[in-house]
Chains A and B, each alone.
Chain A
Amino acid sequence: MRTKAYASIFRMNWKLELQYRGAVLGGIICQLVFGLILVSLYRALYAGRPQVMPIETVSTYVWLQQAFFRMVLSSDSDLAGKIRTGDIAYDLVRPLSLYGYYYARILAQKSMGSLLRAVPMLVFALCLPRGWGIMAPVSPAAFACFLLGLMIGLCCVSALENITMGITMRTLDPKGIQAMLNLLMMILSGNVLPLTLYPDAWQKVITALPYAQLLDAPIRLYTGTRQVAEAPGALLLQAAWTVVLTGVGIALWKSNQRRLVIQGG
Chain B
Amino acid sequence: MNYIEVENLCKSFTVRRKREKGHLFREKTTVQALDHVSFSVRQGELVGYIGPNGAGKSTTVKILSGILTPSSGSVHVGGRVPWTDRKAHAQHIGVVFGQRSQLWWDVPILDSYLLLRDIYRLEENAWKTRLDELTEKLKLGELLRTPLRQLSLGQRMRAELCGSLLHRPELLFLDEPTIGLDAVSKLSLRDFLREENRDHRTTILLTTHDMEDVAALCSRVMVLGHGKLLFDGGLTDLLSRYDRERVIEVSYERETVLSGLPNRCTVTQTGSRYRVVYDPENVSTAWLLEYLQGAGSIRELTAQGQNIDQLIAQMYREMDL
Contacts and interface: CB of A to CB of B under 8 A. Distances in A.
Nearest to B167: A95
A260 B90 CA distance: 17
Interface stretch (B19-27, B113-121, B133-141, B299-307): B113-121
Contact of B67 (A15, A19, A90): A90
B101 to A, nearest CB: 10
A49 B104 CA distance: 55
A8 interface: yes
Q: Is the interface of B mostly helix, strand, loop or mixed?
A: mixed
A258 B69 contact: yes
Contacts of B114: 8
Contacts of A21: none
A175 interface: no
Interface residues of A, number: 24
B86 interface: yes
B86 A92 contact: yes
A87 interface: yes
A93 B104 CA distance: 15
B51 interface: no
A93 B160 CA distance: 14
A4 interface: yes
Interface string B253-277: 0000000000000000000000000
A79 B59 CA distance: 23
Nearest to A15: B107
Q: Is the interface of A mostly helix, strand, loop or mixed?
A: helix
A102 to B, nearest CB: 14
A16 B119 contact: no
Given A16-B107, A95-B87, A95-B88, A5 B69 contact: no
A5 B67 contact: no
Interface in A230-264: 258, 260-262
A12 B106 CA distance: 10
A2 interface: yes
Nearest to A85: B100
Interface of A: 2, 4-5, 7-9, 12, 15-16, 19, 87, 89-90, 92-97, 258, 260-262, 265
29 contacts: A2-B118, A8-B114, A9-B115, A9-B119, A12-B107, A12-B111, A12-B115, A15-B107, A16-B106, A89-B62, A89-B67, A90-B95, A90-B97, A92-B66, A93-B67, A93-B102, A94-B119, A95-B90, A95-B91, A96-B90, A96-B119, A97-B87, A258-B69, A260-B67, A262-B62, A262-B68, A265-B58, A265-B62, A265-B68
